Chains A and B, each alone.
Chain A
């Protein structure tokens, strides 16, 4: 039995202070993942007046079981790394607001940040580090059957598909990881991959090959999800021949990547066709005094160490901007 204790949620040993509406902050950071938390450490060490607003602390790292590529740790559990990040940030007297999201930002020399609750905060500079979330397939049947056979979290929901047939959509790291978790309990796992090869890391592909109940369909796409009260099958199309076939399955796990949480930045800064905030090499967006870092930006490769590095860069850039004002 493992115990994944979220120490920082219970820790009383912190120096953070509540974020205040009456204060004009130098920098307000939006987000609670590696990009935002690294930015917070850099801003506080520079000595600028800093605030942080986050829906949750940890971001995607909190949803990850084991991490083996963050330097300094050969292996660390996601929640443990989050604890370490949060502990590092909470030693500072930083303005802190956790558990609620930002819905809108009004630009100007002084920028206003409006929360989902309507509360409003002010800053000279903003760092957007809102990361990304699971992408939906956007096919008929998906919304109706969420929680009824349509699933997005394999580690959470695999037990419900013991002795059942499932489809995993997506052949990247998260798709292959999900297929491995499901192959341990399900009777059959069919991986539906858009491309002509799986793009996951070799180490994962080798593990996948150990299972005899996994089949991969290359250059196929899911067209619709079938079923009334629960998933009964999926219709998939062969992208070369356009032939459609129906697979009888009990569940479908959608692992086709992530979309950036950039809704609040629409109309505020330039965004590319993938919905990512466009930044230059110093994490500057198209709007003066607004910076962005991590998975929400156009920077390629979405990784913890990259998001953390970008967070540091955005913070230094924002501090520079504030000091030159």
Chain B
């Protein structure tokens, strides 16, 4: 059954027509799919059919172990956003970006394709000055209106600076992970295991937290 009704499909088509360059999505699942893996794959198949600029490759987390390691995928379902040449953009989605999170998914694809507004020069120079490896995990739920903003900010930084990678983590799909980080309210952003930001903070606050990590 189609996930998107006609109205949503046509809305998505018109938004995605704003994409500049092509984007490849690498999806990681496994042979006997977990229910959420299957649902996410179906979502991606339908989604990618809405734009000629999107291509989808499906990988097996176990059999394509090397590919998974290259993109540092450590759990499934995982969506990795690659540019037109197949280079990793540092942007990942763990779990299905539905509900409010569809907005961060669309935004990340548009931005990765080159459709983005410039960041203020001062902020940009701080972002580019980040030299150490940074891993950002943004925990969300799909019914959270404030979460996409936190995800978009993290993904934007990943896109700008190759030392930064950023994951959306859908908390109810990865419960043990959410428990491990003590997530009790979303959005919660974890930076390199040490820094935690609670709530949707402006991108400047996120940069500050990275500088302190």
Q: Beta-carbon contacts of A295-306 to B below 8 Å, as 1s and 0s? A: 000000000000
Q: Is the CB of A151 within 8 A of B184?
A: yes
In the complex, are the beta carbons of B4 and A160 less than 8 A apart?
A: no
Chain B's closest residue to A4 (CB) is B100
- Are A1 and B3 in contact, with the CB atoms below 8 A? yes
- Chain A minimum-CB-distance residue to B42: A1
Q: Which residue of B lies closest to A155 (CB)?
A: B143
A199 at interface (Cβ–Cβ under 8 A)?
no
Q: Indicate whether A63 reaches chain B with its CB closer than 8 angstroms.
A: yes
A93 to B25 alpha-carbon distance, docked (Å): 38
Q: 0/1 per residue, B113-143, Cβ < 8 Å to A?
A: 0000000000000000000000000000111
- The reply on A148 being an interface residue by CB < 8 A is yes
Residues of B within 8 A of A172 (CB): none
**CB <8 Å contact, A1 and B98:** yes
Residues 249-282 of chain A, each 1 if its beta carbon lies under 8 Å from chain B, else 0: 0010000000000000000000000000000000
Name B144's contact: one of A5, A148, A155 (CB within 8 Å): A155
B102 and A5: CB pair below 8 A? yes
> Is A325 positioned at the interface, with any CB of B under 8 Å from its CB?
no
Query: With A147-B198, A153-B144, A156-B145 known to touch, is A5 a contact of B11 (CB < 8 Å)?
Result: yes
A156 x B103 contact (CB < 8 A): no
A1 contacts which of B43, B110, B196 (Cβ < 8 Å)? Answer: B43
Within B150-173, the residues touching A (CB, 8 Å) are 171-172
Do B184 and A147 have beta carbons less than 8 Å apart? yes
Bits for A1-37, please: 1 = Cβ < 8 Å to B, else 0: 1111111011110000000000000000000000000
Say which size band chain A's interface belongs to: 20 to 34
Give Cα A146 to B141, complex, Å.
17
Inter-chain contact A156/B186, CB cutoff 8 Å: yes
State A4–B99 Cα separation when bound (angstroms).
5
Asked if B147 lies at the interface with its beta carbon under 8 angstroms from chain A, I say: yes
B12 within 8 A of A: yes
Q: What's the minimum C-beta distance from A244 to chain B, rounded to whole angstroms?
A: 25
Residue B52, interface by CB 8 Å: no
Interface residues in A135-172 (C-beta closer than 8 Å to B): 146-151, 153, 155-161
Whether, in the assembled complex, B48 has its beta carbon less than 8 Å from a beta carbon of chain A, the answer is no
Task: Give the docked Cα–Cα distance between A79 and B101 (Å).
Answer: 13
Binding site for A on B (CB under 8 A): 3-4, 8, 11-12, 15, 18, 39, 43, 96, 98-100, 102-103, 106-107, 110, 141-148, 171-172, 178, 182-186, 188, 196, 198-199
